[in-house]
């Protein structure tokens, strides 16, 4: 058995059954080993950022890691943005990166780079396999490290991969779950029951149904305001699920949500800050005079224990089933959201990278049938189409709706090819407003204090010269596509996509952003 064989067998024995790949020469022995391991599903992507984003989406829905296979430092670099999102999401992910043969590395070949340095910026665990005999144990350790909620990067030199003497290793036993810190729990309970204004801010697995129910009970019993972090890893929502509002992206809106709080209890999330710094504004969103109470340990368990302390006998409220009426007429941000809310199928997985065009979606879908919502945790755009790829591979029996802004779609548009190749049930809605609208908003926020934007700066946010044609792009990669301009046309396209298996793309033409 060579090193690649032992790596592959160990990954599968450890529960890693899908590998999103964009391989190169240094990974050829791993690729060849796939022919002897039918339990591993290889999924080809045409860009490394699609592979890493797909692995993130897969793990968020499957609850276990996928692997990626990337080519040397440049391949890893191409996948870095979505590895950043995975890191911020706490996603379990095994990133296998091929390297030059150990006797070739000193020659400083054109693709030679410091892989460990690149990997270290997004990985919680990095190891360079030194011999074929060590690969199996290294792979088992990588999976165990990933299962702790992080990116684990295993660097595999080509000669270690092709060399004889490899041995598959048994899976590493999962460590005992972390305990909830009893002192932190007591302090949080004291703050919540003390009568002063308090906010309970949640993230991690606390945004799944059980955690939401416990948080809702705590809020009902104590009067605390309940919020989820701005971009949750996976938010369960819809009719029958305890509802939660999300902390606003814009700093002023978030300050309003947190305003007046004397206590801020954090469960599964970080202390809130603005995404960016602005002239003359403090980026820390914690109100003056507010005490922060972080509660460590598994978030959903921490909330369950808080609920037992503070809300015995209290029932969680749940969202009522309600849908917007189907609108008619011109397609706008508001009418597009209403169509999605009216037609979202039961059990859907929504991957949201709609950016400014999605502002109406949370309210329009709050009472839709139960569904999951995946968001852009790290803010690195180009996440939506790849994450939808992985979510569809993880849950082939569930419809995936990718709600995708036009500008960020272009970062990883080649994911559509993988949707078609794999026959994935992904319906992509492209919100086409011909602009990086979020950047225009940010320019205004800075310009109000540091100078107004002019023609040159405005041109950097304009996507209309020439106009992008997403239906042509999709059809060129094998995905049926249609362009719509009215609410009626959008509804008809979504119904058609829901009725037909496989991928579809709907290009929703929205008013241009001035």
Band (pLDDT 50/70/90 cuts) for residue 442 is confident
Residue 451 has pLDDT above 80, yes or no: no
Contact present, 7 and 30 (Cβ < 8 Å): yes
Average pLDDT of the segment spanning 28-52: 97
User: What is the structure's pLDDT at 447?
Assistant: 65
Give me the pLDDT at residue 513, please.
61
Cβ–Cβ < 8 Å for 372, 388: no
Q: Which fold has domain 333-509?
A: Rossmann fold (3.40.50)
Neighbours of 459 (CB within 10 A): 10
pLDDT above 70 (res 452): no
Class of 3-162 per CATH?
A: alpha beta
pLDDT of residue 310 exceeding 60: yes
pLDDT score at 149: 96
CA 354 to chain centre: 13
331: its two tokens? 């397609």
Distance CA 152, CA 141 (A): 9
Tokens of 375: 């968001």
Q: Is there a common fold for 182-310 and 333-509? A: yes
- Selection from 420, 426, 343 nearest residue 385 by Cα: 426
Give per-residue pLDDT as tens, 201-232. 999 999 999 999 999 999 999 999 999 999 99
pLDDT higher at 301 or 437: 301
Q: How many angstroms separate the most distant Cα atoms in the chain?
A: 70
Cβ atoms of 307 and 218 within 8 Å: the answer is yes
**What angle is formed at CA 107 by the lines to CA 103 and CA 108, rounded to 5 degrees?**
120
The β-bridge partners of 467 are 464
Q: Mean pLDDT, to the nearest integer, of 85-111?
A: 97
Secondary structure of residue 380 in the 3-state scheme:
coil
Nearest to 53 by CA among 336, 394, 365, 415: 415
Per-residue model confidence (pLDDT) at position 111: 96
Query: Strands (DSSP E) along 158-312, which ranges?
Result: 198-202, 225-228, 235-237, 245-246, 263-267, 291-295
196 DSSP 8-state letter: S
Grouping H, G, I as helix, E, B as strand and the rest as coil, residue 219 is helix
Supply the pLDDT for residue 459: 79
pLDDT at 448 > cutoff 70: no
Distances (CA, A) of 274 to 28, 251, 300, 429: 44, 6, 25, 28
- Structure confidence by residue, pLDDT tens digits, 255-303: 999 999 999 999 999 999 999 998 888 999 999 999 999 999 999 999 9
Domain locations in the chain?
3-162, 182-310, 333-509
Angle at 142 between CA 139 and CA 147, to 5 degrees: 130
How does residue 453 score in pLDDT terms, banded at 50, 70 and 90? low
CATH class of 182-310: alpha beta
Residue 450 has pLDDT above 50, yes or no: no
Q: What are 282's two structure tokens?
A: 């403090």
Long-range CB pairs of 358-363, under 8 A, 24+ apart, other chains included? 358/333, 358/403, 358/405, 358/431, 359/333, 360/333, 360/334, 360/336, 361/337, 361/403, 362/246, 363/337
- The percentage of the chain sitting over the pLDDT mark of 90, rounded to a whole number, equals 91
Residue 496 above 50 pLDDT? yes
pTM to 2 decimals? Answer: 0.96
Per-residue pLDDT, 514 = 56
């Amino acid at each position: 058995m060579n090193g690649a064989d032992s790596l592959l067998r160990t990954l599968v024995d450890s529960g890693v059954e899908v590998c999103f790949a964009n391989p190169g020469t240094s990974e050829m022995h791993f690729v060849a080993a796939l022919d002897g391991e039918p339990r591993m599903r290889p999924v080809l992507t045409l860009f490394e950022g699609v592979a890493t984003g797909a692995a993130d989406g897969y793990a968020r829905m499957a609850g276990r890691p996928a692997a990626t296979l990337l080519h040397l430092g440049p391949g890893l670099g191409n996948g870095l943005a979505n590895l950043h999102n995975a890191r911020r999401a706490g996603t379990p992910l095994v990133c296998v990166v091929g390297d030059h043969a150990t006797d070739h590395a000193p020659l400083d070949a054109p693709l030679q780079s410091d892989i460990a340095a690149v990997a270290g910026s997004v990985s919680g665990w990095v190891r360079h396999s030194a011999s074929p005999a060590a690969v199996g144990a290294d792979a088992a350790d990588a999976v165990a490290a990933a299962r702790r909620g992080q990116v684990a990067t295993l660097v595999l030199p080509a000669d270690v991969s092709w060399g004889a003497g490899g041995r598959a290793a048994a899976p590493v036993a999962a460590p005992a779950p972390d305990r909830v810190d009893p002192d932190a729990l007591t302090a949080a309970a004291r703050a919540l029951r003390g009568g002063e204004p308090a906010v309970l801010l949640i993230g991690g697995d606390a945004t799944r149904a059980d955690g939401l129910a416990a948080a809702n009970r705590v809020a009902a019993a104590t009067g605390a305001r309940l919020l989820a972090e701005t971009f949750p890893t996976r938010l369960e929502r819809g009719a029958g699920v305890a509802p939660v509002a999300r902390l606003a992206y814009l700093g002023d809106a978030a300050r309003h949500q947190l305003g007046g709080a004397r206590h801020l209890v954090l469960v599964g999330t970080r202390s809130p800050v603005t995404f960016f710094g602005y002239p003359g504004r403090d980026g820390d969103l914690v109100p003056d005079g507010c005490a922060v109470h972080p509660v460590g340990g598994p978030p959903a368990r921490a909330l369950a224990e808080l609920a037992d302390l503070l809300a015995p006998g209290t029932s969680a409220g749940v969202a009522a089933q309600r849908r917007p009426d189907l609108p008619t007429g011109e397609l706008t941000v508001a009418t597009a959201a209403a169509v999605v809310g009216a037609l979202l199928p039961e059990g859907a997985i929504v991957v949201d990278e709609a950016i400014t065009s999605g502002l109406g979606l949370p309210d329009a879908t709050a009472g839709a049938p139960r569904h999951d919502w995946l968001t852009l945790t790290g803010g690195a755009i180009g996440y939506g189409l790849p994450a939808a790829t992985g979510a569809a591979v993880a849950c082939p029996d569930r419809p995936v709706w990718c709600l995708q802004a036009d500008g960020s779609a272009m970062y990883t548009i080649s994911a559509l090819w993988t949707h078609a190749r794999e026959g994935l049930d992904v319906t992509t809605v492209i919100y086409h407003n011909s602009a990086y609208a979020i950047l225009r908003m940010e320019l205004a926020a800075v310009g109000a204090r540091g100078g107004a934007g002019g023609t040159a700066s405005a041109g950097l946010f304009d996507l209309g010269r020439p106009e992008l044609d997403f239906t042509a792009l999709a059809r060129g990669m094998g995905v049926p596509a249609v362009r719509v301009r009215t609410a009626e046309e959008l509804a008809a396209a979504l119904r058609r996509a829901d009725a037909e298996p496989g991928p579809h793309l709907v290009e929703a033409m929205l008013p241009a952003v001035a």
